[in-house]
């Protein structure tokens, strides 16, 4: 057989596998357009199987419930504060929820807030993402509520390298993680509706050394 034939078939199969979300070398998650990365799913798009209509219908029919679930939060000391649209919940981690029809308020400049004149030993990339799919604490696939009406976002810092000139030898750059509580939907159980669930996402990059 012609080598070019096998090459063409391999390329076509790889493209088809990625398009369908089939498992490829243990990285592509079946049924959703996601890649497994840092113990969590990375999904640049919602894909065709994202239950948008079901989520929107549930929100429309249960407005009071949604407000109770995510309309306010409790800060240390017992004071209950109404969350302003577009403002991150600084007391509950780095995930936040907003009504996207409101004007999106910019996040504070993390560099200016944390500026101490020093530099990090490890290189990292800070990003804000709106996940569509994620694995919960039981490693079950859940659809994260992110629609035209409501948006949830994760602020995360991901290690760029395993070592640097300042963090090498017996030391190395290590990814840290944090649990986030998000509104989710089980695509396999419509009766469950929208509920709160726990999801693990990257939080920061630290330099750790052997004792």
pLDDT in tens, 4-30: 544 454 444 344 444 444 333 345 567
CA distance 200 to 137: 7
CATH number assigned to the domain comprising residue 187: 2.10.90.10
Residue 124 domain-assigned?
yes
Q: What torsion do the CA atoms of 114, 116, 118, 120 make, to the nearest 10 degrees?
A: -20
- In this predicted structure, the answer to whether residue 114 has a pLDDT above a threshold of 50 is yes
**Distance separating alpha carbons of residues 172 and 150, to the nearest angstrom:** 39
User: What is the number of domains present in the chain?
Assistant: 1
- pLDDT 10s digits, 16-65: 444 444 333 345 567 788 888 888 888 888 999 999 999 999 988 888 88
The DSSP bridge pattern shows strands 133-135 and 171-185 to be unpaired
Q: Provide DSSP, 10-52.
A: HHHHHHHHHHHT--STTTBPTTSS-EEETTEEE-SS--TT--H
* Distance separating alpha carbons of residues 34 and 131, to the nearest angstrom: 10
Structural domain includes residue 170: yes
| 94 inside domain | yes
Query: Is residue 14 in some structural domain?
Result: no
| Domain assignment of residue 99, yes or no | yes
pLDDT single digits (tens) 160-197: 999 999 999 999 999 999 999 999 999 999 999 999 99
Distance of CA 17 to the CA centre of its chain: 23
Contact 149, 194 (CB under 8 A): no
Q: Distance (Å, rounded) from C-alpha 154 to C-alpha 145?
A: 12
Its pTM stands at 0.66
Structural tokens at position 89: 């919940």
């Amino acid at each position: 057989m012609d080598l070019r034939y096998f090459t063409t078939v391999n390329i076509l199969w790889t493209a088809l596998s990625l398009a369908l979300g089939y498992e490829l070398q243990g990285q592509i998650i079946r049924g959703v357009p996601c890649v497994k990365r840092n113990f969590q799913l990375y999904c640049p798009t919602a894909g065709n199987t994202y239950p948008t209509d079901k989520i929107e219908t549930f929100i429309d029919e249960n407005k009071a419930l949604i407000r109770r679930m995510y309309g306010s939060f409790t800060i240390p000391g017992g004071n209950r504060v109404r969350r302003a649209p577009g403002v991150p919940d600084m007391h509950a981690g780095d995930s936040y929820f907003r009504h996207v029809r409101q004007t999106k308020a910019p996040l504070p400049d993390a560099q200016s807030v944390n500026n101490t004149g020093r530099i990090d030993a490890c290189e990292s990339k800070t990003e804000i993402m709106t996940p569509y799919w994620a694995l919960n604490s039981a490693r079950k696939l859940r659809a994260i509520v992110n629609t035209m009406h409501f948006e949830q976002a994760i602020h995360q810092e991901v290690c760029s390298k395993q070592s640097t000139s300042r963090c090498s030898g017996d030391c190395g750059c290590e990814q840290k993680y944090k649990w986030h509580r998000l509104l989710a939907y089980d695509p396999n159980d419509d009766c469950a509706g929208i509920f709160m669930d726990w999801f693990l996402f990257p939080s920061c990059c630290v330099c750790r050394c052997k004792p």
